[in-house]
Structure 1
């Protein structure tokens, strides 16, 4: 059965900050073009690789990888709360396959999927988070220590081998990065009350969520006004090089990337490239692939190097 990949950046500021009109129009038009592709392709199963931003996963029990057996949108940035359409049998089958092949996954019957999952689903599925069956695969990209890139590649390839056993029309989604440096606190340097949030901050009140999100909006505004002290600057050279690495299936290069290098070149949010890496690694289980870079733009107002790619087996 066929398989298709779409990898996109996400940004919580999509509907909360406005870049120049022509840049925003181009980004949204490309998202719509990809959504039209998804509609025409009509997948019977989506595998979605994504990170979390301390909305569903916390330091009280932080897995490197976690598969949702049942899942719902966490409700951050106005995506949800709403259930995702997770096919339990296939999700459990994926978990069993990974365990049989040396990848010890965590799994959840109550996963809260934040905007790293829900925004691309919303944009690519015309606003319907549950339109297609989807298995969410969380990859820790915010809470140090994080899984090494080599292990992320292994995870993706093992999942790709599982997908080859299914009689489904499969869409792989990877969302994260590219370079961006949102104001995500680090537990080693955060004050006590912030550490407590990072450890056990699930299900915040609407007021607490709004207060937290307002800080991110403020950083985007400062960057848009030229105040580059608000965060590390976006890094278009690093972003464009990564897009080419994905296009060329350069997993040997990617496997050598260290967390420190990613943080230096891509900012705190650059760690989310793990979702793209896992997605492309899963596709690579089908052999060589053709890919296309549909869009790239460093958008300060959205605190993100925004990239979009598709790929299919040759």
Structure 2
């Protein structure tokens, strides 16, 4: 039963300075369009080219879809509040935004681990790769990703929806995120904090550890490559992957591992931008656009448009 007496929230956004807000609107609109169009291009290219219907590219397709959902659930509303004086969001709209964001957050973390495992099998067991990472295994892994993401989102959104919000209703953030909502609650949030902490340890810390272990084995395999050019290329790929993964996991762990009383929202807004906008923008460049097969697939799609 919904005990909330608040029917809408006021989102303060990134800044209250109108002059800076105008510049930020242009900046984040450009970044969002790059992120959206980049990930959409990956989705179209993989779906259009049957040669890319392999486990590795299916995982890239899933990552692109998750990034589109993540950014689209947050950024358009944020841009709208910057563009207009309408800074309110309905209670249901807030809970919906929270659900889709939490879903994409959980899905992306597990996907990073799944993709690291796929890379590990491809490099460490190249002759057995097609047997280990077949279509059935790929679908099974994606089902696990979906199940974990839905469970994480459902539990945390459900617990947040059960809280009592009796005012103030001003969210000191640029979207409906769990920490600022817990800070607004006038009912106990201990269970919520415990569940967020558990999710952070199991998903963020756990997945980051598994991802690092996978890349540890990958680096060990790379060191056995005899040619210097081969080592350089492999290290370049792995290092860029690890940088993006670290940019994602570090702020997520920092944000959710603390109690609500310790949140500093001015600083947290900047930290949150790393995993809500920066990483989804970098993912297409790091994981897809540097790949020759993806480049060929994108080129093939553009050529088909001309005809």
TM-score bucket of the superposed structures, by smaller chain: under 0.3
Q: Report the TM-score, using the length of structure 1 for normalisation.
A: 0.27
The structure in which a higher percent of residues are helix is: 2
The structure in which a higher percent of residues are strand is: 1
Name the larger-Rg structure: 2
